[in-house]
Structure formats: structure tokens, C-alpha cells
Structure 1
Amino acid sequence: MRHQSIREVYKLFQLDQRARQLSPRTIEFYDWKLPQFFEWCESENVLTFTELTPTHIKTYLIYQSDNGLSDYTVRGSAMAIRAFCRFVVREDLSTVNPFDGVRMPREPERVLPAFSQSDVQKLLRAARNHRDRALVMVLLDTGMRAAEAISLVGADVNIDAGEIIIRKGKGNRGRLVYLGAKSQKQLMLYFIRRGKPEAREPVFRTEDKSKGRISRSRFFKIFKELGRRAGVTPCTPHRFRRTFAITMARNGVNIHMIAKLMGHKDITVLKRYLDITQEDLRDAHRQASPTDNLL
């Protein structure tokens, strides 16, 4: 272990993730978070796992926070580092787990508000091509996760029926989601413009000639840039998911049906999406004002 660099140990960690058949989304999460941490470690001259201490980990998390990264991002980094440290100890590569001396950052309570009708219209106007308009409408109309949209292939989409198969959602749970007429039309326009994807080709592709799959980092950047141009921030794939849930609920869809459409096992997580807003309370009072109804 003394002669193995932290990146060499990371290669063993990567093999372990694949051998355990973790979901591509989980593997991608670690492959995104951990190299950033290792790069920082190297800048601090921490080259092996045995040199890593709780102080290093705490300093890195503070460094991320001080550089303007969100509480969600910092907590995600901590989760990835904790998993890596646990692996090293579990595999008897070290007897000391440096994360044992680190307190996990608290899960943020902040919930993003749903997009307003005006927000959605601004985003569609700011979209520079048919792909980005299709992304806005499909995410808004289905509530699918970013990883689910990225992994879609041609065989998953029945454009005529307005149906999309999510073959591997979170926890490897598959489901069927649906498109309204306007989303169908926009997706069809995108296919006409770029060519309908073959069965195994990605649905949402890069804008260059390669027609390759969009990476996770690029996917999030598309929405960040779109929000900046539209003047609608923050603009994230997850905010579309929350907007889907709230809009469906406001239009009278049963919460259990919404959970099924979103790929949740039950309604526990979904309840976080459906916090009653001040606007909801105002509308409810307008409709049921005691004085307006009694006097």
C-alpha cells in the first residue's frame, strides 16, 4: 500500500464498482467526483492513501464551499470520498479510515421552486436549436431524471404513440412515460432536423457531426447556459422534474400516479417536491374565502 499512489488505489475502486454491477449513473458519479478530489490532494502533496488525514478531507470540503459550490455539491463530494475510504479499509488496503474523523455535511433543506409558465416560455425562446427545445419539453412533460434522458436510445421512443420507455431508472426500475401532443411535435421536429436515431443510437446527441451521446457534465452545462440566456436561474434538469410533479398535482393527478410516472417506489420522496407554496395558499384562499362564500 505504501508504494501505491492514491490514483492506483482508485483504479481498484473502479474495478470493484463494475464487478458489483452498480448502475452506470452511480459509477459516473464516482468517476466525476473522486478525480477532482485526487487532483486537489496532489496539489497538497498528498500522493498516497496512507498520507490522507481527516484534516485533508475537511479542508477540501471547506475549499469547495469557499469557492462557491453549492451545499449539494459539497455533500456529494463527501459521499464519494466516504465510499472510497470505506472500500480501501474493506479490502484490507489500510487499517485506518480517515473519513472516520469527518462529520458528513448535513443534507440541504432548500427545495428549488417550480418554473413558472413565463419561465418555460423564456427558456423555449432562448433555446438555440431543436434539440434544446426538445430537451426542455421532454423533461418538463415526463419528469425524467438527467441520467435517464442521457441514456435514452432510439428503440426507447415510440414517437407516434407519445411513449418513452425508461429501461433503467434509479434502482434499475424501468417504467413507461408519456408525451403530450406539443412535446411529440417538438421531438419529431428534432428527429427531422438531425435524423431519427437508430435503435441503439442516443436520442439526445451532440451538435457536431459525430452524433455522439451527450456527457453528464455537458448535459448540465446545456441547461446552465440556456438559463443564463433566458434570464431564468437556476436552470437545472432537476428543476424540470420538480415542475413536472407540482404541475401534475395542481392539475388534480393523484400523488401515487405521479410517483409511478417519476419512478419512485413510494410517495415519501415525492412529498419533498410537493411542498405547498405561498401561491398555492393564495389561490386556495381565493377559491374558498369564507367571507366571499358566506356574505
Structure 2
Amino acid sequence: MLLTKAIQGYMYDKAASYSKNTLESYKFVHRNLLAYIGDVEIETITPNQLKEFIHWLQSDQYSPNRSNGDTSPLSPAYIDFHWKATRSLFGWAHKVLDIPRPDEDMPRPRFRRAQPKAFTEDEIRRLLKAAGEIKSRSRAGNEYVQRATTGGRNKAIILALLDTGLRIGELLRITMRDVDFESGEIMITPYSTGRKTRPRMVMLGTASRRAAWLYVARMEHTRQSDRLFPMSQNAVRLMLNRLAARADVENVHPHKFRHTFAIWFLRNGGDVFTLQRILGHSSLDMVKNYLDIAQADVKTAHRRSSPVDIWNNDRPL
């Protein structure tokens, strides 16, 4: 069976198990695999070819062909995703098509996961200011007047992401029925297989609740969707990119708000078990990344404020 045909069958089987965005990521991996190996008979693919495929992704010879035109190198984590997705494909082929597994000895790429980065308070204030600006400029430099509802929506999205630690997909799936504006409670329900999204409750603080309520109130007579924020993930990313350019803030993406929530939750005395439940993680592994940062903050703060060291510098004790 040709590789394209096998991939088609694999995607048919997985379509019900993954979200649309996850399926797009798998399609990207498959395009890269076909670009390197070609549309050959799947049973003729060798272990050496798969090893060289991963090496190719890490080399200067490879230039990503993303749907959005971005040609920047793949991150180590995304190369690791290629490894996992390729293993998944050939595991499926072994089970369904009864062919040998050429991926058995496929070495996993080694990489050190980058520490999560958080926004500073100043960066958040600049983004919110940019969201609330009535007059703005397009990329072409033309001035235009932003609608109040658009600015209010953008502010509400930023504050909601920052205050709840939700994934962008989870935020955009929230319906009006899921939100209690009096208490600030939001019910998060599983999506598809619940592989990522776990049922839980998150809270909106006073400022975030007010911003969301104002946005909803202004849209009361024009709203055509039951979703709180009827936008696509790509539309939110484009909106954040525009605000980032106006606010002169670098590296702005939806997941960074999740990192910021988690890091500041721990800095302000929250515990890892509660954070795990709020973020919807199945284990503490991911939460430990945030804990390392918070503990480093404690060490730095102690070095700055240790009374013994401060007094000893002035006059040896």
C-alpha cells in the first residue's frame, strides 16, 4: 500500500479522537514525511530512512512549508512531536495492515524543554492599553477608528486568558450557559475524547468578570452565537499579534497567558495540586516546570532580602 493511502486510513481512524488543530499538526508531519521519503509502498520503508527523516528535520537542508507561510526552524518540541506522530502512524500500520514496524529503533530526539516564559505586569498593561485604544493604525499606516465592542472584546479575552490559565481552545469553546457572571464561575467541559480538556471549574476575578460582562452587554442585540467569544484560534492569534506590535511587546501568543497565570499563581502562594486541577493536567509533570521557576524566585528574593547578609555587608556580624 502506498504511503499516502496508509496515511489516509490512519487519519480516518484518528479523526474522531483528535481536535481539528491536532489533526492539522498530524497532517503537517505527514507532509514532511512524504516530502522526505516520497510516496513509496509503506512496507518498503526502512528504519534507516526514518532515522534520517528526523535528522533532516533538524538540519539546515529542511525549510518548513507551513500553511501560514512561516519558514522559521521547527522547535525541538515540535521535532519531538514528529517523532511521536511517526511512531503512531507505523504502530497503526502494524496493527491494521499487518506490516513490520520500521520505527522500533527510531531514536527519540533529545532536547531540553525550554522554561515557560511569563509576561511582566508592564507588558500586560501595555497590551491592555493597546486593546483599548480607539484610534489605531493598520499595517499600511492608515489611521482608523476601532469599534468599542472590538476593543472591549480584546480586553476581555486577554484578562480571561490571564485570570483562568485556560488553553485558547478551551476559552473559545465556552458558551454563555457555562458562565456565571455573578460568582465568576466558568464550567469547562471535555471536548472530543477529553484527551486535553478535563471537566473542571475555573474562576474569573472581579476585573475580568467586569470586562467580560461589559463586552457581552454591548453585544446583546447583535450577538448571533451562543459562544462567549465567537472567534477562531487563528483570529485570536492575529489579534494578539496586532496588539503586540502596537504595544511593542515581544513573543505574544495565547499559551503565554497560561504560563503567566501558573507562574504568578505559585508566586502568590498557590499550591501545585490546586494549580494542577485549575490547568486541567492529568499529572504534576507539567506543573513542576512552573514550580521550578517559582522556587528560583524564592532563592533570588532571599538573596536580595536576607537580613543577615544585608547587615553583614554594612558591618560584619
TM-score of the superposed pair, with normalisation by structure 1: 0.79
CA apart distance, 1:57: 4.8
Cα distance in 1 for residues equivalent to 2:287 and 2:34: 41
Q: CA RMSD in A?
A: 3.2
Report 1:162-177 matches (<5 A).
Answer: 162-168=184-190, 170-171=195-196, 173-177=198-202
Equivalent in the alignment of 1:109: 113
Q: How many residues align?
A: 278
1:258 aligns with 2:275: yes
Alignment check: 8 A CA contact 2:196 2:280 kept: no
Pair 1:257–1:87, CA change in 2 (3 A):
same
**Among 200, 203, 214, the residue aligned to 2:228:** 203
Alignment check: 8 A CA contact 1:175 1:263 kept: yes
1:152 aligns with 2:174: yes
Percentage identity across paired residues of the two chains: 24
Equivalent in the alignment of 1:282: 300
Report 1:51-90 matches (<5 A).
Answer: 52=45, 53-54=49-50, 55-62=52-59, 63=62, 67-90=72-95
Pair 1:81–1:179, CA change in 2 (3 A):
same
Pair 1:35–1:109, CA change in 2 (3 A):
closer
Q: Which deviates more, 99-108 or 189-198?
A: 189-198
CA apart distance, 1:230: 2.6
Max Rg structure? 2
Cα distance in 1 for residues equivalent to 2:54 and 2:284: 35
TM-score of the superposed pair, with normalisation by structure 2: 0.74
1:161 aligns with 2:183: yes
Pair 1:56–1:275, CA change in 2 (3 A):
closer
Equivalent in the alignment of 2:258: 241
1:47 aligns with 2:51: no
Gaps of 5+ in 1: 207-213
Alignment check: 8 A CA contact 1:256 1:266 kept: no
Cα distance in 2 for residues equivalent to 1:225 and 1:176: 31
Equivalent in the alignment of 1:182: 207
Q: SS state of the match for residue 129, structure 1?
A: helix
Pair 1:252–1:5, CA change in 2 (3 A):
closer
Alignment check: 8 A CA contact 1:142 1:179 kept: yes
Cα distance in 1 for residues equivalent to 2:241 and 2:298: 28
Equivalent in the alignment of 1:99: 103
CA apart distance, 1:239: 1.8
Q: Which deviates more, 240-249 or 36-45?
A: 36-45
State the one-letter code of the partner of 1:271. Answer: K
1:15 aligns with 2:37: no
Q: SS state of the match for residue 230, structure 2?
A: coil
